[in-house]
Structure 1
Amino acid sequence: MAEVSAEARIEAPAEKVWAQLTDFSSYGEWNATHTSFPKGGPATLELGATYEENMKLMGFPAEVTWTVDELENRRLLTTRGKGPMGVDLAMRYSLTPAPDGDATAVRIEGEFTGAAVSLMGGKLKDSATAALQESLRKLDGLVTP
């Protein structure tokens, strides 16, 4: 298993960050591993919704089928995915508004499990952590005036 995480303070209200985070039409503008949604992303963001995503991690393309596992508007989005070579993935996006409401702490946590993960654990962890950090930087750039 490989677990990764990254966190950043974004100088924007949680509503604005959430709107960008869940706008699947612009997902590729900030998500560093995303390459496309073959079928356009989820029709609606709700518990149990499924969608397919093409990704690239460590330079390798991967097709993942995601299911929305947890959803709290403007606070939490957790998805679980099935990828190639028996790899299971989980991504958790959590938003914590600052007390004044003008900024938001955004944390992304990822988990990769499966036989293929044990073969490339260290490199996968480094690559995925760098991708999460880049994603947060790009997300910040999109929502911060």
Structure 2
Amino acid sequence: MAEVSAEARIAAPAGKVWAQLTDFSTYGEWNATHTSFPKGGPANLVLAGTYEENMKLMGFPAEVTWTVSELEDGRLLTTTGKGPMGVNLRMSYVLTPDGDATTIRIDGEFTGAAVSLMAGKLKDSATAALVESLRKLDGLIVA
């Protein structure tokens, strides 16, 4: 298993951060691992809803089918995914209001036989991607 996390304080209210986070039409502008939604991003997030995403991790393309496993509008989005070679993923985005700003934390988890072979490199690569993604997300949001 490989676990990753990153956190940032964005100088905007949680509602604006949530709106950008869940605007799948602009996902590629901030998410460093995203390459495309082959069938289009989800129009509306709903518990147990699914969507497909093409990603690139450690330079390798991956197709992931995501399921929304936790959803609290404006505060929490957790998705679980099934990727290639039996890899399972979990991504959790938690928003915490902080005055006129918002702290956003992303926690990710990768499991499966293939992960154990490259857990260290995957953790480093995915953590760097999360940090870059939060930096780009911050740059898109106008307070």
What's the TM-score, normalizing by structure 1?
Answer: 0.97
TM-superposed deviation, 1:129: 0.1
Runs of 4+ that moved beyond 6 A: none
Unpaired segments ≥5 residues, structure 2: none
The one-letter code sitting in structure 1 at the alignment partner of 2:68 is: V
Identity of counterpart residues, as a percentage? 83
- 2:96 matched to 1:96? yes
Pairwise CA distance, 1:41: 1.3
1:52-71 paired onto structure 2 within 5 Å: 52-71=52-71
Deviation at 1:144, TM superposition (A): 3.8
Find the counterpart in structure 2 of residue 43 from structure 1: 43
Q: What is the alpha-carbon distance in structure 2 between the residues aligned to residue 114 and residue 141 of structure 1? A: 34
2:100 counterpart of 1:119: no
In the other structure, the counterpart of 1:106 is: 104
For residues 107-144 of structure 1, give each alpha carbon's deviation from its aligned partner in whole angstroms, at most 9, with x where no partner exists.
00000000000000000000000000000000000014
Paired with 1:118 and 1:74, the residues of 2 have a C-alpha distance of 34
Is the 1:10–1:144 Cα contact (8 Å) retained in structure 2? no
**Partner SS state of residue 92, structure 1:** strand
Q: Any idea what SS the aligned residue of 1:139 has?
A: helix
Aligned residues: 143
Counterpart-to-counterpart distance in 2, 1:14 and 1:118:
36
Question: RMSD value over aligned CA atoms?
Answer: 0.7
For structure 1, the residue ranges without an aligned partner over 5 or more in a row are: none
Q: TM-score, normalised by structure 2?
A: 0.98
- The 2-side partners of 1:10 and 1:144 are apart by 10
Q: How far has the Cα of 1:105 moved from its partner?
A: 0.2
